[in-house]
Amino acid sequence: MNDLKDALKTLIVQACDKDRDPASIADDEPLFGAEAPLALDSLDALQLSMALQKKFGVRVTDSKETRQIFANVACLAAWLAARKAAE
C-alpha cells in the first residue's frame, strides 16, 4: 500500500503541476480546501481524475463520493485498492 501511496503522491504533484516534493505530502494531509497545504481546487480535481483514469484505468463517477475519495492520499489509495480488488 505504501508503494501505491507514493505513486499517488507523485501523480498528484505532476497532474496538478505543483512545485512540491511528493515525499513531503503526508498520507492524511487534506488535499483540498483552505487548510490544505497543496490548496488543490476544482480544476486540480478534474486533472487528477483524468490522470487516475489514464494511469490506473479507473473513473471517479459519483460526485458525492468524490469529496471523500479525494480527501487525502490515504483515502484515495484505499478507494483505488478496493476498486482494483473488485476487478
Domain assignment present for 62: yes
CATH number at residue 72: 1.10.1200
Q: Residue 9, exposed/middle/buried by CB under 10 A (0-12, 13-18, 19+)?
A: buried
85 confidence band (pLDDT: 50, 70, 90): confident
Domain assignment present for 25: no
Q: Residue by residue, what is the 3-state secondary structure of the chain?
A: CHHHHHHHHHHHHHHCCCCCCHHHCCCCCCCECCCCCCCECHHHHHHHHHHHHHHHCCCCCCHHHHHHHCCCHHHHHHHHHHHHHHC
- In the chain, how many domains are there? 1
Give tens-digit pLDDT for 7-60: 999 999 999 999 999 999 999 999 998 889 999 999 999 999 999 999 999 988
Q: Note down the domain range covering 63.
A: 2-18+36-86
Domain assignment present for 29: no
Q: What is the pLDDT of residue 68?
A: 93
Domain assignment present for 27: no
62 confidence band (pLDDT: 50, 70, 90): confident
Domain assignment present for 23: no
Q: What is the pLDDT of residue 1?
A: 80
